[in-house]
Amino acid sequence: MDRIVIRGGRPLEGEIYVGGAKNAALPLMAACLLTDETLTLTNLPHLADISTLAKLLSTLGVELHMNGNGGAGGSSGRVLEMTAGRIADTCAPYDLVRKMRASVLVLGPLVAREGLGSVSLPGGCAIGTRPIDLHLAGLEALGAEIELKEGYIEARAPNGLTGGEVVFPKVSVGATENILMAACLASGETRLVNAAREPEIVDLANCLTAMGAEIEGAGTASITVRGQSRLHGARHEVIADRIEAGTYAMAAAITDGDLHLVGARGEHLRSALEVLGQAGVAVTETNRGLQVRRANGRLQGTDAMTEAFPGFPTDLQAQFMALMATAQGAAMITETIFENRFMHVPELARMGANVTVHGASALVRGVERLTGAPVMATDLRASVSLVLAGLAAEGETVLNRVYHLDRGYERVEDKLSACGADIRRVPE
């Protein structure tokens, strides 16, 4: 397994191109199952999770053609053509779902297109049990019969899905995406109530609309879909990754640097930028993205609470904790979305951070300096928070199990070293 070695203490200066959003690209790829024509996605990031889903789609019978540059603003985004001419299989197997929970996003499209879909129960992951009960309840509300057989969930709708009202008892990004896609081919009208409002949902709705779907209200808590008998192909550009942008904004702040994040969109990060402003980070919107530097000298400890969009994103919580570890004063960070998303705390502590966890809240008391240490990545965002800490720490940090990082960050060592970081990947 590769390791990443960082010698900290160097301010980051220069430009970083923000890639296409992983959490938009994954549901967009699943949407190809809704039509027998070609769906082309551009500005697709080079990430392990994208490759895993591409492999799953090809086992289902989708023809995929991936080629080079089609990214926005000269970034390295790939172009992916997918044609689900014929569905050869309707089962997402355990060995692929185990690797990536987002595989469950093929369930809704499969049931809507074929009247049958089965997906291995994903099992838990490092940040929590992450059940899929909301996905299944939503499909049942559209007339699917759900059965659990030998660790697989089977959803059947032999006479097709019927539009109806789907009320989510709690906000779920994935469940909203699964039901939104299924509803596009259901007969009649579907209303999603208490839907997730993330920009990735809006991006998916825009792509589905380009494919012939009729959708109103994406980005609000109430979405209406008028089902169609079929959808057609389309070409769609994946939106920029707001979590990658937020991560590199914090890299600029933690190293007291000055970075231009090309492709970043302020309107997708309002809450996070608000908190960063209170912490003493100046973010200026430019015509190409966001310019980020410290407003004046040390950072101030600032509280944050993760919430569904438009609240502070849970996917930036670990990175913000690393930033607060060297701020002046204390910061109370509360995680309300996942039940076990503080795996980065003991690793940050090895680098000298002073963090006390009480249930869903962590109290961070800022220290003068962090010190480099060998640390272990546990999940995608925890691993990048350790990279941020390593960039600011005195001495050398060695990050193990870098495969977690590669699931969601494209060429992180190249992007950071191009801005002055002393960071390199050491292949095992």
The residues binding ligand EPZ (CB under 6 A) are 22-23, 26, 101-102, 128, 130-135, 170, 172-175, 314-315, 337-338, 380-381, 408
Q: What is the 3-state secondary structure (H, E, C) of 383-397?
A: HHHHHHHHHHCECEE
Query: In the chain, what is the straight-line distance between the N-terminal and C-terminal CA atoms, in Å?
Result: 5
CA 242 to chain centre: 9
Task: Report the residue closest to ligand EPZ, judged by CB.
Answer: 174
Beta bridge partners of 81: 40, 65
Q: Which is nearer to ligand EPZ, 373 or 380 (CB)?
A: 380
User: How far apart are CB 101 and ligand EPZ at their closest, in Å?
Assistant: 6
- Give the Cα separation of 195 and 201 in Å (integer): 9
Contact, 34 vs 185, CB < 8 A?
yes
- Give the Cα separation of 235 and 84 in Å (integer): 15
Q: Which is nearer to ligand EPZ, 23 or 83 (CB)?
A: 23
User: How far apart are CB 323 and ligand EPZ at their closest, in Å?
Assistant: 17
User: How far apart are CB 233 and ligand EPZ at their closest, in Å?
Assistant: 24
Give the sign of the dihedral formed by CA 381, CA 91, CA 107, CA 152. negative
What are the residues whose beta carbons fall under 8 Å from the beta carbon of 405, sequence distance 6 or more? 4, 377, 380, 383, 384, 387, 399, 412
- Give the Cα separation of 177 and 155 in Å (integer): 16
**CA-closest candidate to residue 378, choices 354, 417, 407:** 407
User: How far apart are CB 366 and ligand EPZ at their closest, in Å?
Assistant: 25
User: How far apart are CB 404 and ligand EPZ at their closest, in Å?
Assistant: 10
Question: Both tokens of residue 356?
Answer: 């006390």
Phi, psi of 142 (to 5 degrees): -100, 10
Sheet strands (E) in 24-132: 38-44, 63-69, 78-83, 91-92, 116-120
Q: Which is nearer to ligand EPZ, 201 or 254 (CB)?
A: 201
Q: Which is nearer to ligand EPZ, 28 or 299 (CB)?
A: 28
User: How far apart are CB 99 and ligand EPZ at their closest, in Å?
Assistant: 13
Q: Which is nearer to ligand EPZ, 17 or 338 (CB)?
A: 338
Positions marked catalytic: 125
Q: Which is nearer to ligand EPZ, 69 or 222 (CB)?
A: 222
- Give the Cα separation of 138 and 152 in Å (integer): 17
